Copies of this chain bind each other. A is one copy, B any other.
Amino acid sequence: MQSYEQSLQQTRDFLLEHDDYLVVSHVQPDGDAVSSTLAVGWLLSCLGKKYCMLNEGPIPKRMEYLWHADQILNMTLAGPDREFKHVICVDCADFQRVGLTHRYFAADALIANIDHHPTNNGYGAVNLIKPDAAATAEILFDLLQLFALEWNTDIATAIYTGLLTDTGGFRYTNTSPKVMAAVSELLKLGVNGPELAETLLEEMTLAQVKVLNRALSTLQLSPEGDVAWVHVTPEDMIACGASNEDLEGIVNYPRNIQGVEVGILFKVIHPGAVKVSLRSAGKVDVAALAQTFGGGGHTRAAGAKIEAALEEVIPQVLEEVRRYL
């Protein structure tokens, strides 16, 4: 097993030795995926290398402010005109995560696999994996130090974006002293942290606010005040013009109420199926709870899909939650 430092060196050599790289990330790219793609692109441009940045789909509109974000090709519109022999995959825990972009990998392509997911299975010819990094952007922060580059606000903003989004605005447990020290350096380079937080973390769609309002109207609490839940129906979704993405974060409202240990969102998929999202304040392992319904997740955030009507699902889940409290 080689050390992180050895992997960094090996990746540096990979970037120096070849030319004409394809840089890809995972399908439905998030802040870290986009940032990491651009950070590698910025590095390659500094090295005077030819490269092409690609994703299976579009990048989120709210990330368009990033340096060269418009140069990440969207495969559904127009892919590259050829295959590539050297590919850099960022933030992809396994090969399937690159989606259809693999069509542009040559059969004998050499892959550099740069990622922070603990489950990464090392599918690259070069593997730069740091499971305790908060974001792939953190690994790129380290990698870029190996080159004598003059950092500017563009690259600093890209790295900052990855760190900000993957730590939930510096609030998740992966927010290490190292992340904050890096953030301090990035701010010195002129990153507009408050603006990024606003754009990436606080902005909501109108549909999101509307569906939040509908969900909160259904808020209920257990007599003990330790379980709170809301539900959303297909009718709500249609009335609000909401997509599944707009439901993100809603489950935190019941969870964030003082005294609540478990917060739940019941999302009716159709009359006979409900998606249950569970959030724990710490006492209850909701991953285990979700497993009893054939679902899974993390100890404090988990979910399951239950094939039954809402009126059956709610008491069933509440009874199980009660057993865990």
Contact = CB atoms under 8 A, between A and B. Distances in A.
Most buried by B among A181, A205, A209, A281: A209
B206 A221 contact: yes
A183 interface: yes
Given A169-B169, A184-B181, A213-B213, A175 B202 contact: no
A202 B251 CA distance: 13
A257 interface: yes
A177 B185 contact: yes
A197 interface: yes
A225 to B, nearest CB: 8
Interface stretch (A63-71, A94-102, A110-118, A187-195): A187-195
Given A219-B213, A253-B209, A175 B204 contact: no
Nearest to A187: B177
A46 to B, nearest CB: 23
A212 B230 CA distance: 15
A17 interface: no
Interface string A200-226: 011111100110110011010100010
B221 A257 contact: no
User: Dominant SS at the A interface?
Assistant: helix
Q: What's the interface size class on A, roughly?
A: 35 or more
A221 B206 CA distance: 10
Nearest to A62: B258
Interface in A149-184: 169-173, 175-181, 183-184
Given A180-B184, A213-B216, A206 B171 contact: no
A256 interface: yes
B171 A193 contact: yes
A36 interface: no
A206 B254 CA distance: 9
Nearest to A252: B202
Contacts of A194: 171-173, 175
Contacts of A217: 213, 217
Contacts of A257: 203-206, 209
A198 B183 CA distance: 21
B187 A253 contact: no
Given A216-B209, A216-B216, A204 B258 contact: yes
Nearest to A169: B169
Given A184-B181, A216-B216, A206 B170 contact: no
6 contacts: A177-B184, A180-B183, A203-B256, A204-B253, A206-B221, A213-B216
Interface of A: 169-173, 175-181, 183-185, 187-188, 193-194, 197-198, 201-206, 209-210, 212-213, 216-217, 219, 221, 225, 252-254, 256-258, 281
Given A176-B187, A177-B188, A210-B219, 14 more contacts: A170-B193, A171-B197, A177-B185, A179-B184, A180-B181, A198-B281, A203-B256, A204-B256, A204-B258, A206-B221, A209-B256, A212-B216, A216-B216, A217-B217
